[in-house]
Amino acid sequence: MSKTKDALIIIAAVLLALAVLLLVVIVVMDRMKGPNPGGDTGRADTTAFTEPLPETSLSQETEPAPESSTSVDVTTAELTTEELTTAEITTAEITTEELTTAGETTAEPSVTQPVVGDWVPVKIEGATDLGVSSKGYLIQQKDGLYYVGGILIANKSYPLPSDYIPEGFPVPMVDQVISKFLPDAQAGYDEMKVAFKAENPTAAGFKIQSGYRSYLTQTRLYNNYAAANGKAAADTFSARPGHSEHQTGLAADINVVGTWTLLESIKNTTEGKWLAANSWRFGFILRYPEGKSDKTGYIYEPWHFRYIGKEAAKAVYESGLCLEEFLGIDSVYPES
């Protein structure tokens, strides 16, 4: 009996020790796990632990960040494409505009006009661009005056205003004819007379027989010619009012000193021959050359000279063309 009792005591002690050990293990493990997420000392709330916190964490770390990154990449790509496209379109538009401007005559400021020899055509500042001639010269209008390549034009196609009076000329009376030019033309004419006399000391010399004519004077002259010869015939040798170069102050009928009638025979005189061959040196051209009536609109007039400047006159003379041919314009009355 004594032995049995001792064995039971030992077993009980062992079990108690195991129980204490188990309790210690449980306490240690509990402490190692930290505070209870459930907020109490009882059963852990696994729902609160596994849903709200992990879901929020995943939502912030795995979805928004990648979406933000993708959005930035796409935006950058779109902006880059847009910038490049805009740059390309802008460049293309500018290029097209420049080319269009150069091809028109409105001629815009970028129109390139042909340069002939030392003559460089100009663009009249403040003038309205109307187009380009068949030779590529800018046609402009300013204050009612027409310019082609910067040269003032007065012919059957390009009239002058009825009230146009060259600067420095007096308001004319009906029959007033002034034997002088505008300053630049006058300087060229004076130089030309000196040169002729130096080269032809025994010749009679030449004079201005009919220089500036007003609109009113031209009206009287043309009406008289039309009444005497018929309008069609008058149109071949006399300009209608507003279409005469004499009104510009840049043209004149030049005759031999001592002669009062303008005749084609002047072409055979020393003066006539010299003028035809040398007037360009001083800025003048024989305005209505022989064989060019279909271009100028007038018969051959070996006495009619027009000042256009030395460089332009040389270019026209050396071309062998009349002014209309050289500039690429016509000379036809509107109803013709």
Q: Which two tokens stand for residue 227?
A: 């009444």
Beta bridge partners of 23: none
Q: For tokens 């990648």, name the residue.
A: 66
DSSP three-state, residue 90 = helix
How far, in Å, CA of 235 to CA of 255, rounded? 22
The sign of the CA dihedral 191, 195, 196, 201 is positive
**Residue 148 CB contacts under 8 Å (≥ 6 apart), including other chains:** 133, 137, 138, 139, 140, 158, 327, 329
Residue 93 known to be catalytic: no
* Catalytic pick among 245, 301, 324, 325: 301
What's phi and psi for 320, nearest 5 deg? 75, 10
Q: Which residues of the chain form beta strands (DSSP E)?
A: 128-132, 138-142, 145-148, 151-153, 177-178, 206-210, 212-213, 251-256, 284-288, 301-307
Question: CA geometry: angle at 168 spanning 165 and 174, to 5°?
Answer: 45
What's phi and psi for 106, nearest 5 deg? -35, -15
**Residue 160 CB contacts under 8 Å (≥ 6 apart), including other chains:** 144, 145, 154, 215, 242, 243, 244, 247, 248
Question: CA geometry: angle at 76 spanning 72 and 82, to 5°?
Answer: 145
Q: Which residues are catalytic?
A: 301
